[in-house]
Amino acid sequence: MASLKNINKDKFLEIIMKLKWKFLIFCIIGVLSALVDLAVFNILFWGKLNFIVCRIIAVFGAVMFNFFLNRHITFRVKEKSFKKQFPKHIIVYSLVIITNVVVSTLTVNFLGEGTFFANIASVAGIISGIPISFFGSLLWTFKNKES
């Protein structure tokens, strides 16, 4: 009986460690995606486009970048069809985009206008989407037997 408890505990710890590393890789890719997001946002924002339009386009660019890196690096998907995963990714990231744009818009309205505050608001929006994107990717988009 004691060995059964140890097996369950050992398996649980093994799963936690795998998730820890997967989340770390996910976060590194997320930082790269955030840099893509901020670069696109600033190019468009400096071009005097509307803040919300800049956010939507920047987030979409980052989402595309994020999909390919997470698919191949974080979740190491090889056997599943791109055609099945991409629509799931778009659904998950639609929720992320909505969250991102709402949080960043509320933040910029609270802080005020200007490039500095617009970037602070953008980062707040990016951070707000992390839990949705990680768990949506892990448990649905790229789900495998180990998830």
pLDDT digits (tens, 9 = 90+) for 18-47: 778 888 999 999 899 989 988 999 999 999
pLDDT digits (tens, 9 = 90+) for 106-126: 999 999 988 899 989 988 998
Model confidence at 5, pLDDT cuts 50, 70, 90, reads low
CA dihedral 79, 58, 95, 123 (to 10 degrees): 110
Provide the pLDDT for residue 6: 54
Q: Whole-angstrom Cα distance, residue 110 to residue 119?
A: 13
**Residue type present at position 83:** K
Q: Return the DSSP state at 112.
A: -
Q: Whole-angstrom Cα distance, residue 36 to residue 4?
A: 48
Provide the pLDDT for residue 39: 95
pLDDT digits (tens, 9 = 90+) for 38-90: 899 999 999 989 988 998 899 889 888 999 999 989 888 877 678 888 899 99
Q: Which residue has the tokens 């955030």?
A: 34
**Stretch (H or E) spanning 59:** helix 51-69
Model confidence at 2, pLDDT cuts 50, 70, 90, reads very low
Provide the pLDDT for residue 145: 62
How many Cα atoms are found within 13 Å in the side-chain-facing hemisphere of 102?
Answer: 8
Percent pLDDT > 90 in the chain is: 36
Global pTM exceeds 0.85: no
